[in-house]
Amino acid sequence: MFSITTAVNLTDEEKASVQLNEEYADSQWVNPLHVIENTDHFHPCLVQIARDIISK
């Protein structure tokens, strides 16, 4: 399996304009610090991605 993660900075206006299809209906914006502070609720790969984002 292969996965690519891309991080971008969006304004609140840009976030509001994102339109997801029904496959992603349960998606939500999550602060990387929230992921790091709640590692038991997230896949280890997402926790590492959040750490990488914070470290930059």
pTM (two decimals):
0.71
pLDDT tens track, the chain, 56 positions:
777 888 888 999 999 999 989 998 888 889 999 999 999 999 999 999 999 999 98
Query: What CA–CA distance (Å, rounded) separates 13 from 44?
Result: 30
Written as six digits, the tokens of 9 are 């900075």
Question: Rounded to whole angstroms, how far apart are CA atoms 42 and 36?
Answer: 9
Give the Cα separation of 22 and 11 in Å (integer).
Answer: 23
**CA 56 – CA 52 distance, rounded (Å):** 7
